[in-house]
């Protein structure tokens, strides 16, 4: 059964989609555990949401690239008696450039943050959800996980495709127990993501209809996981893109993806 005040854990909560999830869930009366690397931003957000909605907001600074981070985070939750009802696996970023031009530790950190850490968090927290007969897991994936991979940001689409398949299996395993899992797949979203990856000047040229704000993405995600959807692509434009690529022959889809990706992906020369 749903608790009067569910507790939501949100990774990457300091900005963008993560901060929007925190605001939306606080407005629904959820207590929060906010985690990211930037303590100052988390504290400011927590203070704001406490004042606006009267919720409890706990800040636990965490770098998910640390192999021990998830275990330490969950130990802290247990020590404080915090039972997570909603898990929002949102933390993420992109690594621009050709695959071989980045050092392996850069890729290893990326895979821990976008693949290993969210998977481990789900593994550690879902048992409590199953015991209570209620839980929600939102894995923030991407439209990129549904279309062919592109040159540059080599691991990004692959990591998001993994999260989609993982969410589907997780949903099927737990749907009879009141625990819903959903891969949320936005496209272009107004956030700091493109500033961090150095592609702001490229994506700023994209038409306005291709973009969504973080609040709209989050509302679709909350509605989708509550309905029990295993995968949800946000926005009419992104759903259209997904459908078109699904209908295309693989060779044509890959060629089109390669052509379009040059408009918004940071790429290095092949030589």
Half-sphere exposure of 76 (CA within 13 A, CB side): 15
Local structure of 55: helix, strand or coil: coil
Among residues 93, 134, 156, 264, the one annotated as catalytic is: 156
Is 156 known to be catalytic? yes
Local structure of 249: helix, strand or coil: coil
Taking phi first (over 0 means left), then psi (-120 to 50 degrees means alpha), and beta for anything else, what does residue 58 get?
beta
Closest of 107, 101, 15, 103 to residue 65, by C-alpha: 107
Rounded to whole angstroms, how far apart are CA atoms 141 and 162?
Answer: 9
Contact by Cβ (8 Å): 186, 241: no
Other beta carbons within 10 angstroms of residue 219's beta carbon come to 14
C-alpha distance from residue 45 to each of 23, 137, 155, 217 (Å): 9, 22, 30, 19
List active site positions.
156
């Amino acid at each position: 059964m749903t608790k009067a005040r569910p507790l939501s854990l949100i990774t990457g909560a300091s900005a963008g989609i993560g901060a929007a999830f925190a605001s939306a869930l606080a407005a629904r009366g959820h207590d929060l555990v906010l985690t990211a690397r930037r303590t100052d931003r988390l504290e400011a957000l927590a203070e704001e949401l406490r004042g606006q909605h009267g919720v409890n907001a706990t800040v636990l600074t965490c770098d998910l690239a640390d192999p021990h981070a998830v275990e330490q985070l969950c130990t802290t939750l247990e020590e404080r008696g915090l039972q997570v009802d909603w898990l929002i696996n949102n933390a993420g970023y992109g690594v621009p450039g050709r695959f071989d031009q980045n050092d392996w530790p850069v890729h290893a950190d990326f895979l821990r943050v976008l693949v290993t850490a969210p998977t481990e968090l789900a593994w550690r927290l879902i048992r409590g959800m199953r015991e209570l007969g209620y839980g929600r897991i939102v894995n923030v994936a991407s439209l990129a996980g549904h279309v062919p991979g592109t040159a540059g940001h080599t691991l990004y689409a692959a990591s998001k495709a993994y999260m989609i398949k993982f969410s589907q299996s997780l949903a099927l395993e737990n749907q009879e127990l009141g625990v819903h899992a959903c891969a949320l797949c936005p496209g272009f979203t107004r956030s700091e993501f493109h500033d961090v990856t150095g592609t702001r000047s490229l994506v700023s040229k994209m038409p306005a209809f291709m973009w969504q704000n973080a609040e709209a993405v989050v509302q679709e995600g909350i509605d989708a996981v509550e309905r029990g959807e295993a995968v949800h692509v946000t926005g009419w434009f992104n759903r259209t893109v997904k459908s078109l690529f699904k209908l295309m022959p693989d060779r044509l889809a890959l060629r089109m993806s390669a052509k379009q990706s040059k408009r918004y992906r940071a790429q290095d020369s092949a030589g």
